[in-house]
């Protein structure tokens, strides 16, 4: 059964690679190819790839690391060249699996952090699928009025970390991983760095049941999601540094140093880009 699933996954990837390579000539494929079955296959690979056999624990063997990139290329190709009727069939299949909106998602995240709900199989992949659709400029066509807003996601995530008494909630690691994916998705939605910094610099004391060391809400937020938050602040480094230096404190200086260290790491890996140059200039 495992071998069959692996072959099935490789065949799907080969099919998607083929479609991506066709470019404008995808219109030469027979109309029957673009029926509901194709749309359902794409939708499942975007949101529920485990249902068609993809197992991320064996990604090195099945090469599924390339699947998100392959899907994005397929979506870009079909949205550019496919007949509107066939394209709408694909959007309909994607819409059927996209059942939750921004508000409902944040309500569920709050329940997960409180331990009042259990993480379901495929929830993390669902969030990754939203990111795939956004990067492919397809999300706005399939969300059926769902108001996905990065700042709303950020605020919801931040408020989910604490109970009504200010105690730090300590959910299962899988819930934290889901929240990291949501925060990464929020970054794609042009989240306001002002809101992110207001959370990071929140000096309200938080109580950690597992430690007697003092910690603020903002420090806890940054500790949990440092990589995601640094990435977010670097989307607008000039504004980020300007705001941080206008509010001098140990925490704000710490964040500036984090941003500079991130730039230094990118430089060492030769991954610097124009987005990091304003940071150095601002400092």
- Does some domain include residue 188? no
- Does some domain include residue 75? yes
Cα distance between residue 229 and residue 200, in whole Å: 9
Provide the pLDDT for residue 149: 87
Q: Mean pLDDT, to the nearest integer, of 159-186?
A: 95
- Does some domain include residue 72? yes
Tally of structural domains, the chain: 1
| Whether residue 57 has pLDDT greater than 90 | no
Cα distance between residue 28 and residue 116, in whole Å: 52
- Does some domain include residue 73? yes
Cα distance between residue 179 and residue 12, in whole Å: 29
| Whether residue 55 has pLDDT greater than 70 | no
Q: Residue 215 pairs with which residues in a beta bridge? A: 206
- Does some domain include residue 226? no
Provide the pLDDT for residue 266: 74
**Could you tell me the pLDDT band of residue 9, with boundaries at 50, 70 and 90?**
confident
Q: Mean pLDDT, to the nearest integer, of 5-12?
A: 84
- Does some domain include residue 209? no
**Could you tell me the pLDDT band of residue 56, with boundaries at 50, 70 and 90?**
very low
| Whether residue 195 has pLDDT greater than 90 | yes
Q: Mean pLDDT, to the nearest integer, of 67-75?
A: 91
- Domain, as residue range, for 1: 1-97
- Does some domain include residue 3? yes
Contacts of residue 110, Cβ cutoff 8 Å, sequence gap at least 6: 156, 159, 160
Most confident of the ranges 94-108, 137-151, 232-246: 232-246
- Does some domain include residue 9? yes
């Amino acid at each position: 059964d495992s071998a069959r699933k692996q072959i099935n996954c490789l065949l799907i990837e080969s099919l998607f690679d083929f479609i991506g390579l066709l470019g404008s000539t995808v219109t030469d494929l027979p109309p029957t190819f673009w029926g509901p079955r194709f749309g359902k296959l794409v939708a499942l690979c975007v949101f529920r790839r485990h249902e068609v056999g993809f197992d991320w624990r064996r990604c090195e063997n099945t090469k599924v690391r390339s699947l998100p990139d392959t899907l994005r290329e397929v979506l870009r190709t079909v949205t550019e060249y496919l007949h509107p009727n066939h394209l709408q069939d694909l959007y309909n299949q994607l819409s059927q699996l996209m059942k939750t909106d921004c508000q409902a998602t944040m309500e569920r995240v709050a329940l997960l952090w409180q331990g009042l709900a259990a993480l379901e199989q495929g929830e993390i992949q669902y969030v990754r699928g939203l990111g795939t659709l956004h990067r492919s400029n397809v999300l706005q066509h399939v969300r059926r009025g769902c108001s996905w807003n990065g700042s709303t996601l950020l605020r919801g995530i931040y408020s989910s970390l604490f109970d009504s008494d200010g105690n730090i909630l300590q959910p299962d690691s899988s819930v934290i991983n889901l929240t990291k994916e949501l925060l990464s998705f929020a970054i794609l939605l042009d989240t306001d760095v002002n809101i992110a910094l207001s959370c990071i610099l929140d000096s309200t004391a938080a109580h950690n049941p597992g430690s007697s060391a003092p910690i603020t809400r903002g420090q806890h937020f940054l500790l949990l999601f440092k990589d995601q938050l640094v990435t977010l602040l670097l989307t607008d480094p000039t504004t980020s540094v300007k705001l941080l230096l206008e509010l001098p404190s140990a925490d704000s200086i710490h964040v500036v140093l984090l941003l500079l260290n991130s730039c230094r790491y990118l430089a060492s890996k030769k991954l610097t880009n124009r987005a990091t140059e304003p940071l150095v200039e601002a400092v």
